[in-house]
A and B are shown apart, each in its own frame.
Chain A
C-alpha cells in the first residue's frame, strides 16, 4: 500500500498571505496525485489532478507541483473561504488502491 503523508498537520496563515502544503508518497506515484478541499459539514471538492492541473472552476490562486514522491499545493493569496482541510490522494496503482493523506487543516492566523 502506498502511504501518503501530509505536513504540517495544521497551518496557520493570515488572509492575503501564501500557504504551502506538502504531501509525500511512500513510493513514486509519478504525477498521479490529486488535491481536495473539505469544509466542515461538506463533501470534498476536487482542486488539482495530475499533480498540477486545476479542476474545472478552481481559481488560479491554487496551484500544484511535484512528481514522484514529493508534492506541494500552494495557495498564493489566501481568501477567507480557503480556510479548510486539504487532502492529497494518489491514484497510481492498478487495480485501484487509492489512498489519501491524513489532511492538513488550514487555519486563520
Chain B
C-alpha cells in the first residue's frame, strides 16, 4: 500500500525557517517524480515544487523561488521541503504527492505550517 506521511509543520515567525519531510513507503520511491502542493486555510490547491527521480531537476512556482528548496533522499525514501524567509501568506497545509503523468496520484494527509508572530 502506497503511503506518504508528512511531518515538520508548526508555528514559525515571519522570516523564519522550517523543514518539511515526507516519508514514502509501499512503492519504489526512486522511480517517481515527487511534488509539494499547498492549501491555505479555506482556499484552493497550489502547486509548490516538483523534483525528478534522481534529484537532478527541480521546479518551483514563481513566488517560492529563492526561498524554498525541494530535495529528496532515495536511500531513505524521503522527500523534503526547506522553507526559508517565511511569510504570512505561506501559511497552509502542505501535502506531498507522488507524480504520475504530471498529476498527483497519491497524497499524504498534509502538515500545517502557520507563519505568525
Contact = CB atoms under 8 A, between A and B. Distances in A.
Contacts of B37: 44
A69 B104 CA distance: 21
A103 B101 CA distance: 21
Max count, chain B CB within 10 A of own CB: residue among A34, A46, A49, A97 = A46
Is the contact region of chain A dominated by helix, strand, or loop, or is it mixed?
A: loop
Interface string B83-105: 00000000000010000111111
A34 B102 CA distance: 9
A59 interface: no
Interface stretch (A60-68, A74-82, A87-95): A87-95
Contacts of A98: 35, 47, 50, 102
A31 to B, nearest CB: 11
B102 A43 contact: no
B46 A46 contact: no
Interface string B15-45: 0000000000000000000010100000011
A87 B45 contact: yes
Contact of A91 (B61, B95, B102): B102
B103 A89 contact: yes
Is the contact region of chain B dominated by helix, strand, or loop, or is it mixed?
A: strand
B47 A43 contact: no
Interface residues of A, number: 25
B40 to A, nearest CB: 12
B105 A102 contact: no
Contacts of B46: 100
A15 interface: no
A46 B103 contact: yes
Contacts of B109: 42-43
Query: Which 7 A-B pairs rank lowest in CB-CB distance, beginning with the nearest?
Result: A91-B102, A43-B107, A98-B47, A34-B103, A100-B45, A96-B59, A49-B103
